[in-house]
Amino acid sequence: MRRRSFLWTAGAAMPAALMEISALGQGTAMDSGSTVKPLHGEAHVVGAGQDRFGEKHTLGYSTILFRVSQNESGGSIFALEHRGLGKGGPPEHFHLYQDEWFYVLEGECEWHVGDRVVHATPGTYLFIPPGVPHNITNVSERPARVLMTVSPPGHEHYFEELARLTAQGAPDPKAIGALRARFDTDQLSALTTKS
């Protein structure tokens, strides 16, 4: 009986959901001749080795290229590419509210995720929810490339400031700690740079 009740309720809610989509100007596949409009922003293409905004953010262990900003995603995600990920890497840390997804494109990386060590090669996908300690390091001799997506977004501002702090060499640990505290990140170990 519960299943029938659930199906009836879900079926009854469908017309209301379609009306809401139409009210937002989204149209539906059932609307003949209508054009589906994005809820936020415009579609865009970012070429290989390019940053969405024509910038490169060097962190000491990696250069990051922005792919999708929070403004373009309606505040849902921020996506970037770690390019030239060398030895070293971010300190072990965790986020209170952010989910992170990683996808290895090139090279071999090692993540410490909670109590696990994950050896990641191209094609490896990792999801790390809030509260789980983690870090990444390149364990091969050639640079790695990794796609990273963060939700909710806002971390692009963290990376912009981190790039400014690391531009002059090894940054002051207190400055890094203050930066992390402002951006939903609890640091558990020290930042390492290329060795």
Instruction: Establish if 153 belongs to a structural domain.
Output: yes
Same domain, yes or no, for 18 and 98? no
Distances (CA, A) of 148 to 101, 122, 135, 176: 6, 14, 13, 21
pLDDT of residue 194: 45
Cβ–Cβ contacts within 10 Å for residue 145, how many?
19
Which tops the pLDDT comparison, 79 or 27?
Answer: 79
SS3 69: coil
Which one is predicted more confidently, 34 or 175?
175
CATH of residue 106's domain is 2.60.120.10
Do 74 and 152 lie in a common domain? Answer: yes
Coil vs helix vs strand at 155: helix
- The H-assigned helical ranges of the chain are 2-23, 155-166, 173-182
Per-residue pLDDT band for 181 (boundaries 50, 70, 90) equals confident
pLDDT at residue 195 above 60?
no
List pLDDT tens digits, range 102-158: 999 999 999 999 999 999 999 999 999 999 999 999 998 899 999 999 998 888 888
Residues 79 and 153 in one domain: yes
3-class SS at 134? Answer: strand
Give the pLDDT confidence of 80-103 residue by residue, as tens digits: 999 988 887 787 889 889 999 999
DSSP state of 54: S
> Token digits for 119?
């050896």
**Confidence category of residue 39, pLDDT binned at 50, 70, 90:** low
Q: Domain for residue 22, yes or no?
A: yes
Kindly state whether residues 172 and 83 are assigned to the same domain.
Answer: yes
Task: Please tell me whether residues 66 and 33 are part of one structural domain.
Answer: no
In a domain, 50, yes or no: no
Average pLDDT over residues 29-47: 63
Task: Please compute the mean of the pLDDT values over residues 34-62 and round it to a whole number.
Answer: 78
Residues 105 and 161 in one domain: yes
Q: Tally the domains of the chain.
A: 2
pLDDT of residue 7 exceeding 60, the answer is no
Structural domain that includes position 155: 57-187
Q: Do 122 and 181 fall within a single domain?
A: yes
Residues 23, 15: contact at Cβ < 8 Å?
no
Question: What is the pLDDT averaged over residues 42-61?
Answer: 87
Residue 45, in any domain of the structure:
no
Considering only CA atoms, give the Rg of the chain: 21
Question: Concatenated DSSP letters for 81-123?
Answer: EEEEE-S-BPPSEEESS-EEEEEEEES-EEEEETTEEEEE-TT
**Residue 158 DSSP SS3:** helix
Q: Could you identify the residue written with the tokens 């579609």? A: 43
- For residues 107 and 161, membership in a common domain is answered with yes
User: What is the rounded distance in angstroms from the CA atom of residue 89 to the CA atom of residue 96?
Assistant: 20
